[in-house]
Amino acid sequence: MTQDPLQTSTPYLLPEVYEEFRAAARTVAEKKLGPRAAQVDARGEFPHDNHETLVAAGLHAPGVPEEYGGDGADALAAAIAVEEVARVCASTSTIQTSNKLGVTPLLLAGTEQQRRRYLPEVAGGDALMAYALSEREAGSDIAAMRCRATMTEEGEWSVEGVKTWITSAGVARYLIVFAVTDPEAGSRSISAFVVHADDPGLGYGAPERKMGLKGSVTREVYFDDCRIPADRLLGQRGRGLHLALGTLDHTRVSVGAQALGIAQGALDTAVAYVRERRQFGQALADFQGVQFMLADMAMRVESARQMVYAAAARSTARARDLTYFGAAAKCLASDVAMAVTTDAVQLLGGYGYTKDFPAERMMRDAKITQIYEGTNQIQRLVVARNLV
């Protein structure tokens, strides 16, 4: 019996429910977020109105389990949500990725009491999360961190130190903070804590002046004898490094989805432009050289999409090869985003270099996806080590 080719390829197609979810997310993004994207970039401030839009649409914290008031979406649906928002406004998509960074450690290592304390607030849109891991001298080298947490005579933890490049700092109500608790314990020297924005001894630096993602507020976080109760320890003492790396395995999928969305938005912008722009009596889209560029861009975007979705499936399943796929998806998608946005600027010519079109913003936004949550050099190390 001859099989329908479409039926034989069904396992490689998204089920209809995901496409319906994408359509709904795209409608919200295009109608509500896209028109404000240039303004968000120009203002360089946290987009509270966009946050409210995401909350109203249920897109602000995809993946929080239903028992804690969330949508219960799996990692693939969460990736699609980030992709569609980043397609029109990458800054706004960091609301989603920031929440993901905060929620994931709670799901991986939090007690039931901790989950019920924090996750409903995040799911309801009442609280935003931040993830405080990086330091000036401890970026890729997490084990070199200097932030310290010591137990006081009163039975509290006292946190001292500085965290750098913290997304949503000063806006987030809760921060997942990593600090050294046992300096002589090697890989088991670091522990994780839930810190509240109103805890005494917590302060912030001025917002960083960044190349892109200007609507995503990034600050240093200062801890000066910041006192937190003992029950805010997240997971086991000394298992913070393991938790941090385990979290990144999952959240790198979100960065891959963010990069994918930026790349798709740039491709859409370029295609729309070359269809309308005329030179030498014909549309730019009719020139073979332009068509070849578009073909390469489209193939790269789709390749990144398949890798991101494959990694998302493994995140949901907590598969043993998630570390490999998470790193590979983040690395491939962010490299694609940088290449595709650069080509989009080129295709738009002089207009691509101006703020009148979104291509230059997308190019600036794309760059950070090659850097944060582990540089792409680190991702290549992770991939290679998993191979050999």
| Domains of the chain with bracketed CATH | 5-123 (1.10.540.10), 129-238 (2.40.110.10), 242-387 (1.20.140.10)
Residue 373 annotated as catalytic: yes
CA distances in angstroms from 373 to 66, 107, 356, listed in the order given: 27, 19, 31
Three-class SS state of 307: helix
Q: Where are the beta strands (DSSP E) in 57-215?
A: 129-132, 148-151, 157-167, 174-180, 190-196, 202-204
pLDDT tens for the 388 residues of the chain, in order: 344 444 444 667 899 999 999 999 999 999 999 999 999 999 999 999 999 999 999 999 999 999 999 999 999 999 999 999 999 999 999 999 999 999 999 999 999 999 999 999 999 999 999 999 999 988 888 888 999 999 999 999 999 999 999 999 999 999 999 999 999 998 899 999 999 999 999 999 999 999 999 999 999 999 999 999 999 999 999 999 999 999 999 999 999 999 999 999 999 999 999 999 999 999 999 999 999 999 999 999 999 999 999 999 999 999 999 999 999 999 999 999 999 999 999 999 999 999 999 999 999 999 999 999 999 999 999 999 999 9
How many residues would you count in the chain? 388
- Token output for 204: 């912030």
Please compute, for residue 335, the number of CA atoms within 13 A of its CA located in the half-sphere on the CB side.
15
Q: Record the tokens describing residue 23, joined without a space.
A: 């359509």
For 39, residues 6+ apart whose C-beta sits below 8 A from its C-beta are none
